[in-house]
Structure 1
Amino acid sequence: MHCKRRMWSGLAIFLLTVAFIGFYMQMNCYSLPVQRHSTDIKEPLPESNQTFTTVPPEDPRACSCTKCVSEKDVSAWFDKRFDSNTQPLLTAKDDSLPQPALSWWLALQQSHRDVKVNEVVAEVLSVLPGTSQNRTEDSSKCRRCAVVGNSGNLLGSSYGPLIESHDVVMRMNKATTSGFESDVGRKTTHHFMYPESAIDLQADVHLVLVPFKPLDLQWIASALSTGHITKTYMEVKQFVKADKDKVSVISPAFLKYVNDNWTEHHGRYPSTGMLALIFALHTCDEVSVFGYGADVNGNWHHYWEKNKYSSAFRKTGVHDADFETETLRKLAKERKIRLYTPERTARPINKSINTLEGYQPNSR
């Protein structure tokens, strides 16, 4: 009798133990997948329709491009030179220019030291209602810019459609498109000039004045109003056709910044082509460069010129074309710009080019 009781007791204990073990294993079996999925972050997350930028959200230059030109920690060489706090344009908020920049600027073309620059700036800004930073306000977009120089290497390039595919197309000085559309395109959104290189513009084009002296500021105010200035060191346009609301002025402080950080005091001051390029780095998200350098035969000329053997610009010594070329080449090597060479194939080629845009005597 006692043996039967011990047998049934042992069996009951055994069954309870088995049941407990089974229940425990079942509970852990169900919990493991939940625990694994909650800690495993190596699996790819589902794709989202949201566009993410490669620049940290706190960066005011954030964009939706695959790569943004102002993105930091990509090129130490670029980061050393690029200062996002330097504003390219002169605005109504500028009460006065920094003294170092002012002194340097006045010395460029031996301007009179007693000129009242603040009064000149105030006069210009009173004539130009559109004095604001020329920068897209929607940082969720990818602003693609083409900077088009005037080199004869554009002839036969068939780059016209590619240039026009950009959101912004920047040209400079006496650049013309009529008759050269297949190679240079017809689209222009921004045109850089100074009094001696001025041309009339279409109503939808932004005129960007590059002032190398105070008289240049006075000229733009005159050319858009009274027309009382007709000569600088040479005869200049009395009036210029342009939309006042779309006129901007490069800040002399920006000129000095380009001279200090990018051309590093090589030459008396940077060329218009160099200034336009650095302006693009500050206002665009992707930058493509066309029409800089000699043609495929090493000749220097503007693409609309008949004299293909003109190289007088190198005799002035105002700009150090060789150093500017090295800077352009380095920007391409560091993948900050797409550099298009004279070859017909519509693709960027990051290899050396001879130098920047050709210049004539007294050109900028």
Structure 2
Amino acid sequence: MIPMRFLSWARSRFRMKLKTLALLLCIVTCTTLFFSYALREPSGYKYALRLVASTEAPCACRRCLTEAEDDPWFAERFNRSVHPLMARDNSALSDETLKWWQSLQLEKRPANFSEVVEELFQLIPDDVLYADAGPNRCRTCSVVGNSGNLKGSQYGRLIDASHFIIRMNQAPTTGFEEDVGARTTHHFMYPESARDLDNATSLVLVPFKTLDLQWIISALTTGTIKNTYIPVKSRIKANKDKVLIYNPAFFKYIDESWLRGGHGRYPSTGFLGLLFALHICDQVNVFGFGADQHGDWHHYWEKNLEAGAFRDTGVHDGDFEYNVTRLLADKHKIRMFEGR
């Protein structure tokens, strides 16, 4: 006769084996389903690889915009391998990229791109910046658009609390500090929208043509270039040691990956600023994008509410860019503030 103590031990061992088998079966089933989806969807496969490869938090913030649980839509578009800024090391453009970039604002006889770039980086630094992403960094950024929805928002303190504050084109702050903040670390502009800056702010030139690169050289030295397709500032007050150049290759990446081509002739300065932040920051707050609470598109410093006719020029697809921005917010990649 088998002792009761032995029978009890045997039953306990049997139940333990059943639980272990059930757990293993569950893991195998879930893994099979997960990767069968991933293999059916190319973007899902990319997403699956990211999940498997991720072993630590990508940044030191409470929440990072490039976290392991990226969804397929974001993973398919986001690419850190293309750096937002141009330096000597990454200034050689492929024939395809150079041809695409030079088609944005056609020049009759553009100067030799490589020669202009070499002259440019004899004047300004060519350091590779902001390639320091990692688990020990938490860089917060505010991207401040120029929408009239900033009027009366009282976002100023919140904007100024970020490490980087990115503005574009005219973007006055004097007299508007309560709503738009007072600090600026990076100011995006091109020759036709240029303004003077203080010594602590980085001028980020967004070049649409080779002449724009020649203009920044001239504006910081001789002041000989006074016209592009319209009259422009011949000289500019800015710290030449803090001048940065938006990378034409990154420009093309945004158009192809984020706007999918065919949505306006090229991205707006605001959208270029947003994608710049998305690639060098760990948390991104966005202010002053889209229409105001009445549905009007205009700038916060304008009294004429019809002055925002830029939305309908066909150069930029404001509606599509806004929808992408809104989707980034819905997916918790950015935090969007749309006025009060």
Confirm or deny a common fold (TM above 0.5). Answer: yes
Whole-angstrom distance in 2 between the partners of 1:194 and 1:276: 13
User: What is the match of residue 292 of structure 2?
Assistant: 295
CA separation of 1:66/1:178 partners in 2, compared to 1, >3 Å: closer, same or farther?
A: same
Secondary structure, counterpart of 1:245 in structure 2 = helix
**Is 1:70 aligned with 2:69?**
no
Whole-angstrom distance in 1 between the partners of 2:152 and 2:91: 48
Query: Which of 180, 189, 196 is the aligned partner of 2:185?
Result: 189
Secondary structure, counterpart of 2:188 in structure 1 = strand
- Deviation, 1:298, is 1.4
Whole-angstrom distance in 2 between the partners of 1:171 and 1:153: 15
Whole-angstrom distance in 2 between the partners of 1:75 and 1:125: 39
User: What is the match of residue 305 of structure 2?
Assistant: 308
User: What is the match of residue 332 of structure 2?
Assistant: 335
Secondary structure, counterpart of 2:204 in structure 1 = strand
Secondary structure, counterpart of 1:118 in structure 2 = helix
The amino acid that maps onto 1:241 is K
Whole-angstrom distance in 2 between the partners of 1:61 and 1:260: 29
- Deviation, 1:68, is 1.5
Kindly report the root-mean-square deviation, in angstroms, between the aligned alpha carbons of the 2 structures: 2.1
Identity %: 51
Question: Once the two structures are superposed, what CA deviation does each residue of 1:48-103 show, in whole Å capped at 9, x if it has no partner?
Answer: xxxxxxx9998999320122212344221111000010111110213511121111
- Deviation, 1:113, is 6.6
Query: Which of 278, 282, 288 is the aligned partner of 1:281?
Result: 278
Structure 1 portions without partners, runs of 5+ = 1-54, 344-364
Whole-angstrom distance in 2 between the partners of 1:147 and 1:162: 12
User: What is the match of residue 233 of structure 1?
Assistant: 229
User: What is the match of residue 93 of structure 1?
Assistant: 89
The amino acid that maps onto 1:118 is S
Whole-angstrom distance in 2 between the partners of 1:97 and 1:59: 34
The amino acid that maps onto 1:195 is P
| Greater CA drift, 119-128 or 82-91 | 119-128
Question: Once the two structures are superposed, what CA deviation does each residue of 1:15-66 show, in whole Å capped at 9, x if it has no partner?
Answer: xxxxxxxxxxxxxxxxxxxxxxxxxxxxxxxxxxxxxxxx999899932012
CA separation of 1:308/1:85 partners in 2, compared to 1, >3 Å: closer, same or farther?
A: same
Whole-angstrom distance in 1 between the partners of 2:110 and 2:198: 37
- Deviation, 1:270, is 0.4
- Following superposition of structure 1 onto structure 2, how do residues 95-134 of structure 1 map, counting pairs within 5 Å? 96-112=92-108, 115-134=111-130
Secondary structure, counterpart of 1:208 in structure 2 = strand
Whole-angstrom distance in 2 between the partners of 1:115 and 1:58: 45
Contact 1:125/1:131, CA 8 A, preserved across alignment: no
Whole-angstrom distance in 2 between the partners of 1:244 and 1:99: 29
Secondary structure, counterpart of 1:64 in structure 2 = coil
Secondary structure, counterpart of 1:282 in structure 2 = helix
Whole-angstrom distance in 2 between the partners of 1:286 and 1:203: 26
Contact 2:59/2:133, CA 8 A, preserved across alignment: no
- Deviation, 1:120, is 1.3
Secondary structure, counterpart of 2:90 in structure 1 = coil
The amino acid that maps onto 1:78 is F
- Deviation, 1:164, is 0.7
CA separation of 1:177/1:57 partners in 2, compared to 1, >3 Å: closer, same or farther?
A: farther
Question: Once the two structures are superposed, what CA deviation does each residue of 1:244-275 show, in whole Å capped at 9, x if it has no partner?
Answer: 11110001101100000111111111000000
Contact 1:90/1:248, CA 8 A, preserved across alignment: yes
User: What is the match of residue 168 of structure 1?
Assistant: 164
Contact 1:153/1:342, CA 8 A, preserved across alignment: yes
The amino acid that maps onto 1:219 is W
**Is 1:150 aligned with 2:146?**
yes
Whole-angstrom distance in 2 between the partners of 1:70 and 1:103: 32
Contact 1:130/1:245, CA 8 A, preserved across alignment: no
- Following superposition of structure 1 onto structure 2, how do residues 208-247 of structure 1 map, counting pairs within 5 Å? 208-247=204-243
Secondary structure, counterpart of 1:289 in structure 2 = strand
- Following superposition of structure 1 onto structure 2, how do residues 231-270 of structure 1 map, counting pairs within 5 Å? 231-265=227-261, 266-270=263-267
Secondary structure, counterpart of 2:215 in structure 1 = helix
The amino acid that maps onto 1:248 is L
User: What is the match of residue 79 of structure 1?
Assistant: 75
User: What is the match of residue 27 of structure 2?
Assistant: none
More helix by share: 2
User: What is the match of residue 22 of structure 1?
Assistant: none
CA separation of 1:72/1:98 partners in 2, compared to 1, >3 Å: closer, same or farther?
A: farther
Secondary structure, counterpart of 1:119 in structure 2 = helix
Contact 1:148/1:171, CA 8 A, preserved across alignment: yes
CA separation of 1:231/1:156 partners in 2, compared to 1, >3 Å: closer, same or farther?
A: same
- Deviation, 1:235, is 1.0
The amino acid that maps onto 1:111 is E
Tell me the number of residue pairs that the alignment of Structure 1 and Structure 2 aligns.
289
